[in-house]
A and B are shown apart, each in its own frame.
Chain A
Amino acid sequence: MADTLDTATRDAADQLQARVQRLLGHSLHIRHVDAGSCNACEAEIKMLLNPYYDIQRLGIFFTVTPRHADMLLVTGCMTRAMVDPLRQTYEAMPDPRLVVAVGACACSGGIFGQSAYTLGGIGNILPVDVYIPGCPPTPLTLIHGLLLALGRAEQRMHRDTRQVKSSRVLPMLAPGA
C-alpha cells in the first residue's frame, strides 16, 4: 500500500500528520484498570491530577470509559479474576491503543510473582508498550513513562539529571542497627 502512494500524496500525508501533531500536541486520554493492586500505585496515579504535578497541563487526561481512551494504564499483579475484565477493556478501546504497566506488580508480578491466583505481570495477557517500575513509582516516574509512551520523552529539556549518589538507607535498615 505504501509503495503505491506517489510522492505528492506522501508529502501531503506527512504535512497533515505534522499539522495534527502541532495542533493536538500528542494529547492523550487514559483509562486506568486495577488488576489486583494494593492501591499504592493508585495513590500515586491520583497524585498526578493534583495542582503540584498537574498532568493536564501536558494534555493528558483520565477518562471513565475505554471507548474514549488511547492508553490503558494497568496496575496490580494480574489476578485471575481480572483477566477477563482487562481483556474486555482492551478490546473496547479503539486502535491505536497503548498499554502501560505501572508498578513492579504489573511489570513482572513483583513481590507476588506467579502463583495460583496471580499471573505474574500483565505482559502475559496484553502487549505492553511501556514498563514503569517502582513500588510504587513516584508521580515523576509516571510522567516520564507517559511521555515515553507518547514519544514525547525529548520534551525533557534537561539532560543532566542531578543524581544524588549517596547510600540513603533508612536508619533502621543500616547494618548493625
Chain B
Amino acid sequence: MILSWLRRGLRTGVLTTRYPAGCEEMPLDFRGRPALDADRCLAGQGCDRCVQACLPAALSLTTVTSNDPKTTSAPQLTLDYSRCIMCGLCVAACPADALHMVGDYELASTTSDDLRVSAVFTQEDGASSRDYEEKNNGRYA
C-alpha cells in the first residue's frame, strides 16, 4: 500500500504554485478587478450608469472644487478598490465599454489612497487620461 502511495506521489509530481517566483495562470472564471478607461468614459457627458449599478458605492461621481478654472466644477469619477467587491455590475452597466475586468491579482497596497483611482473630465476635451494616470502613479492605469 505504501509503495502505491509512493508511486502515485511520484507520478503526480509537485503541485504547489510557484507564485512569488513565477507567474500563475488564473482560472477562466476569475473576474479580476474593474479597470477604467477614462478616454472612452462618458461621465463628462453626464452618464452615471456605473455609479447607479455599484452596490458598495466603490464608484462615485463628484465635482472637482479647485482654483484652476480649467478643472473647477468638472465631473470626477472615482473608483475605490478598497470598497470594490469585484462583482462586475459596473462593467455590465457601462454603455461605452469604458470599464472592463482585468485578470490582475496583485492588488495589495500600503496606503488606502493608492487603492483609489480617479479621472477628471474637463469641459472642453472630454476625458483627460493624463490626470487619471498621475493620480495613482500609473499603478492601476
Seen from chain A, the residues whose Cβ lies within 8 Å of a Cβ on chain B are 51-54, 57-58, 104, 107-111, 113, 121, 123, 128-135, 137-138, 140-141, 143-145, 147-149, 152, 155-158, 160-170, 173-175
Contact = CB atoms under 8 A, between A and B. Distances in A.
Q: Is the interface of A mostly helix, strand, loop or mixed?
A: loop
A130 B86 CA distance: 19
Interface residues of B, number: 47
7 contacts: A111-B55, A121-B82, A137-B107, A144-B20, A144-B106, A155-B20, A167-B97
A130 B24 contact: no
Q: Is the interface of B mostly helix, strand, loop or mixed?
A: loop
Contacts of B66: none
Given A113-B56, A158-B22, A167-B100, A51 B16 contact: yes
A110 to B, nearest CB: 6
A131 B109 contact: yes
Given A108-B80, A123-B112, A133-B82, A164 B88 contact: no
Contact of B91 (A108, A123, A169): A169
Contacts of B20: 58, 143-144, 147, 152, 155-157
Contacts of B88: 168-170, 173
A148 B17 contact: no
B104 A108 contact: no
Contacts of B83: 104, 107-110
